[in-house]
Chain A
């Protein structure tokens, strides 16, 4: 038996903050009513949506967010560093938060993310100009947790995730 959770706080996605999933995650119940586990529908679409939405926010990317994005894209650290024309050891220092991500590099990561995830985030209809003209400000930790919900997107892919400001 399944039961939809009104607000599921997901902390294990690999991000340094929680993501709230509204009316979508499901508890799977045993015959005696005890909770066996939690199912997150369309996980691939969720993480791609989170990565894309994060790239539209003006707060600088943290190292562990870059790692999250890279893994969502599905590239290894060495390949990702090479795609960015970066020294892999510098890239490693980013991910391990031993070196902050500079503004120019941050934008490169965002532009690459929007390009590489385009097929998975078509439902968001993102204007790449938003990323290009972004001016960095603030700290993401002052904005979190981020909220997402699942919506019918009217194509063959079925339901897709959107963030709440975009959904409003």
Chain B
């Protein structure tokens, strides 16, 4: 399996085990609002999407999760896994813009 497939597997395992989807205090919310993506739509992407990119920022892993909003427009959500119990949403990106 590729690294992104492994990460998707890890993401699914975290979601199934009840990891808390957590919104970074300001930036992530602002980006979601700016791109007309509701919090619930972004959380759906986290729960059902696929990891399409892995970045290392300092010592922190970031997963870029790709999915769709209610209007079938592509949406990417960047999260940082914190331990096994928190998925910290860093930003929300609309890839059709």
Contacts and interface: CB of A to CB of B under 8 A. Distances in A.
Dominant secondary structure at the B interface = mixed
A39 B43 CA distance: 11
Contact of A13 (B28, B38, B71, B89): B38
Dominant secondary structure at the A interface = mixed
B40 A37 contact: no
B15 interface: no
B32 interface: yes
Contacts of A130: none
B22 A43 contact: no
B71 to A, nearest CB: 5
Interface residues of A, number: 25
Tier of interface size on chain B: 20 to 34
Contact of B72 (A11, A13, A76): A76
B43 to A, nearest CB: 5
B70 A43 contact: no
Interface string A1-40: 0100000000111100000000000101000000111111
Contacts of A13: 38-40
Given A37-B89, A71-B40, A28 B22 contact: yes
Given A28-B20, A74-B70, A47 B25 contact: no
B61 interface: no
Interface string B12-39: 0000000011111100111011000011
5 residue pairs, one from A and one from B, having the closest CB atoms: A14-B38, A37-B22, A12-B29, A39-B22, A39-B20
Interface of B: 20-25, 28-30, 32-33, 38-41, 43-44, 69-72, 82, 86, 88-89
Interface of A: 2, 11-14, 26, 28, 35-41, 43-44, 47, 68, 70-72, 74-77
